[in-house]
Amino acid sequence: MSSELHVDVSGGVAVLTLNRPAQQNALTPAMASELGAALRRCDTDDAIGAIVLTGTPPAFCAGADLSLKIGEVNGCIDPPPFKIRKPVIAAVNGHAVGVGLELALQCDLRYFARDAVYGLNQVRRGAIAGGYAHWTLPRLIGSANAADLLLTGRTFDGDEARALGVANACLHAGEVLPTALEIAHDIAHGAAPLPVALSKRLLWEAPTMTPETVGRLETELNDFVAKSADGGEGVAALKDRRPPKWTGSVSGEWPAWDAVTEGERRAGLD
């Protein structure tokens, strides 16, 4: 990775840090491409159980680089964090505006700094929000609140982010990254990797499904997990009064998810 994206992997957790502090980590096309490449590697590396996305202080990401034309970078990372099979936690340790907030919305968990500025202000710049914001934001805070933020382009602070449901928690800036890391390590070492990955995907996909489909998928995927490498380890560890020793492989045991969501039967779940 270049000096504008730092990647650190330690103890089963990958920390991806946007690193243009003089520009408040404003995103460029090169950074977006490198971030996508880093996420793709994390997705296939079974040694990584969780990912933390953050920025070098004092900001998380203040939007797209101002030297760019509108639309040159829009927060549509390839692949987006919600497509990665590991939990992606946004440690939003400072300002996140426009593209910066879009990136955080694509993550599974979000921890915000209390005294920073947040907003999707593109309508005030003659554009509309991108980076899947019209898809992620209503899922998180409902259509009415999403309309408030997207149509006005107004800014808000960490306390309102928490009240709206944009943030899982609102903290002092210095507590954001340590909190995100603590949760990432807890997931990476405490939870079975394949069930976590499947639950994450179901959480993102379920809003477009009927309750009956979701219930069926939960049953089928539980049956699938029961036959996986870690299928009996949780119960065995509980009986033995010891921590579980997870050995499963997300990349090696992943089902054909697209076929599952389409309701098709296939050998892996039969």
Convert the pLDDT of each residue in 144-162 to its tens digit: 999 999 999 999 999 999 9
Residue 237 has pLDDT above 70, yes or no: yes
Beta strands in the chain (DSSP E): 5-10, 13-18, 50-55, 59-61, 88-92, 95-97, 109-113, 118-119, 155-156, 169-171
205 and 83 within one domain: no
To the nearest whole percent, how much of the chain has pLDDT over 70?
93
Choose one of 162, 188, 214: the last residue of a domain: 188
Number of domains in the chain: 2
17 and 105 within one domain: yes
Confidence at residue 262, expressed as pLDDT on a 0 to 100 scale = 57
CATH of the domain at 60: 3.90.226.10
Residue 266 has pLDDT above 60, yes or no: no
Choose one of 122, 153, 188: the last residue of a domain: 188
Q: In the predicted model, what is the mean pLDDT of residues 208-217?
A: 95
Beta strands in 98-177 (DSSP E): 109-113, 118-119, 155-156, 169-171
Confidence at residue 264, expressed as pLDDT on a 0 to 100 scale = 41
- The pLDDT-based confidence of 13 (bands split at 50, 70, 90) is very high
Choose one of 158, 173, 188: the last residue of a domain: 188
165 and 85 within one domain: yes
Q: In the predicted model, what is the mean pLDDT of residues 206-213?
A: 94
Of 100-114, 126-140, 188-202, 256-270, the poorest mean pLDDT is in 256-270
CATH of the domain at 209: 1.10.12.10
Confidence at residue 2, expressed as pLDDT on a 0 to 100 scale = 67
Q: In the predicted model, what is the mean pLDDT of residues 124-143?
A: 96
Mean pLDDT of the chain: 93
pLDDT tens-digit profile of 34-47?
999 999 999 999 99
Query: Which is nearest to 106 in space by CA: 130, 142, 70, 73?
Result: 130
- The pLDDT-based confidence of 265 (bands split at 50, 70, 90) is very low
140 and 101 within one domain: yes
Residue 244 has pLDDT above 90, yes or no: yes
196 and 169 within one domain: no
Contact between 102 and 131 (Cβ < 8 Å):
yes
Residues in Cβ contact with 241 at an 8 Å cutoff, skipping those fewer than 6 apart: none
Q: In the predicted model, what is the mean pLDDT of residues 4-23?
A: 97
Q: In the predicted model, what is the mean pLDDT of residues 175-196?
A: 98
pLDDT tens-digit profile of 46-83?
999 999 999 999 999 999 987 776 666 877 899 999 99
Peptide linkage before 79 cis (omega within 30 of 0): yes
